[in-house]
Amino acid sequence: MGDLACVNGEMMAPERATVPIYDRGFLFGDSVYEVCRIYAGRCWLEAQHLERLRRSLKELEFPPYDVDRLVARIYRTIREAGVDEGLVYVQVTRGVAPRTHAFPNPPVEPTEVIIVRPFDDGPSAALRETGVPVVSRPDIRWKRCDIKTTNLLGNVLANESAHREGAYEAVLIDSLGYVTEATHTSVLWAREGRVEATPEGPEILIGMTRHLAERLARRVGLPFVETRVTLPALLGADEAFLVGTSTEVMPIATIDGQPIGDGKPGPITRRLQEAYRDELRDWLAAPSPAPARA
Ligand SMILES: Cc1ncc(COP(=O)(O)O)c(C=O)c1O
């Protein structure tokens, strides 16, 4: 069991895989990606991630791309890697062509990379019990954060700066002072018994775990409301938490050193963590469609 890459259908150790210097993903960040959590050898929220990938490809006007073949390759990679608990990273670039800003004409074959690796949830599981410190940072990203592209330098710089301060994540604040999201997770919070989140739009990624959290909140009887919040308002929320593919539902203990609520995971966060686990347990108990495809 270990890391395994599948590059344009060819299996190889990730350390052996290389990118041609004319690959537009390398030159321009002209590429999209997805990350799925693998539980028991199956891709969690698979259909939703594939739908978001299709949308990203469409928004960037990629040429037609065979998503069914991608899915078959993903499952072959998971099987050959022998990974039960892991993550699958998928990246599709506009392909290899001499460097000009305009798209290659005629279009070239996209480059497709799949990387499967084991994931140890232990450290995150421990943090979910205590909550994590986060910091705020200016959101310096481009204006189409709803597309899941590999243009992640704004996220990378804020995340690095957070880590240097010993924080788990950076909550990003736009030029008007509103919270958008975090560098690799969505930010949700609770006020007066409601679960709240930044409205979907070009400023934030459409988060698959956020969508799940919305469904779970409604299922357990908590209103889910889209609204903008400033940093001071977020600091005054009853609870705040991060959601994401590998993060799941992670309580925020402090922002910039100031406790949220009493600085401990609150009852609404706990309720959603529980609902997440229940949903996962039911999904794992349902018959698996994966072997049929492999
Ligand atoms: C900027 C950003 N926001 C939110 C998320 C959470 O999205 P998801 O729940 O689909 O993993 C991610 C995940 O990569 C992200 O990069």
Region of 77 please: left (phi>0), alpha (psi -120 to 50) or beta.
Answer: alpha
Q: Is the pLDDT score of 290 beyond 70?
A: no
Residues known to be catalytic = 148
Domains of the chain, start order: 4-119 (3.30.470.10), 124-281 (3.20.10.10)
Work out the average pLDDT over 101-115.
98
Tens digit of each residue's pLDDT (9 = 90 or more) over 145-188: 999 999 999 999 999 999 999 999 999 999 999 999 999 999 99
User: Is any ligand 1 atom within 6 A of the Cβ of residue 180?
Assistant: no
The helix/strand/coil state of 54 is: helix
Quote the pTM value: 0.96
Whole-number Å distance between alpha carbons of 35 and 37: 7
User: Is any ligand 1 atom within 6 A of the Cβ of residue 181?
Assistant: yes
Query: Tokens 């495809």 — which residue?
Result: 293
Work out the average pLDDT over 233-241.
98
Whole-number Å distance between alpha carbons of 73 and 7: 10
User: Is any ligand 1 atom within 6 A of the Cβ of residue 184?
Assistant: yes
Whole-number Å distance between alpha carbons of 253 and 131: 5
Atom of ligand 1 nearest to the CA of 49: 10
pLDDT value at position 288?
Answer: 77
Q: What are the two backbone dihedrals, phi and then psi, of residue 235, each rounded to the nearest 5 degrees?
A: -60, -25
Tens digit of each residue's pLDDT (9 = 90 or more) over 243-285: 999 999 999 999 999 999 999 999 999 999 999 999 999 999 9
Q: How far is CA 51 from CA 142, 179, 196, 202, 274, in A?
A: 22, 26, 24, 17, 26
Mean pLDDT over each residue of the chain, to the nearest integer: 97
Mutate to test the pocket of ligand 1, among 35, 173, 186 (most ligand atoms within 8 A of CB): 186
Task: Report the percentage of the chain scoring pLDDT > 70.
Answer: 98
User: Is any ligand 1 atom within 6 A of the Cβ of residue 170?
Assistant: no
pLDDT value at position 291?
Answer: 46
Cα 206 to averaged position of ligand 1 atoms, centre (Å): 7
Q: Is the pLDDT score of 87 beyond 50?
A: yes
Positive/negative CA dihedral, 172, 89, 150, 206: negative
Cα 151 to averaged position of ligand 1 atoms, centre (Å): 13
**Closest Cα to atom 13, ligand 1: which residue?**
184
> Among candidates 14, 2, 10, which has minimal Cα distance to 111?
10
251: tokens are 């309580």
**What's the CA angle centered on 234, arms 147 and 255, to 5 degrees?**
90
Amino acid at 225: V
Q: What are the two backbone dihedrals, phi and then psi, of residue 252, each rounded to the nearest 5 degrees?
A: -95, 120
> Among candidates 162, 78, 61, 155, which has minimal Cα distance to 115?
78
**Closest Cα to atom 15, ligand 1: which residue?**
184
Whole-number Å distance between alpha carbons of 108 and 187: 38
User: Is any ligand 1 atom within 6 A of the Cβ of residue 207?
Assistant: yes
Tens digit of each residue's pLDDT (9 = 90 or more) over 29-52: 999 999 999 999 999 999 999 999
Q: Which of the 8 DSSP states describes residue 102?
A: S
Which ranges of the chain does DSSP label H, i.e. alpha helix?
A: 24-28, 46-59, 67-81, 122-130, 153-164, 208-219, 231-235, 267-285, 290-293
pLDDT value at position 292?
Answer: 41
Atom of ligand 1 nearest to the CA of 243: 9
pLDDT value at position 294?
Answer: 43
Query: What is the pLDDT confidence band of residue 289, given thresholds at 50, 70 and 90?
Result: low
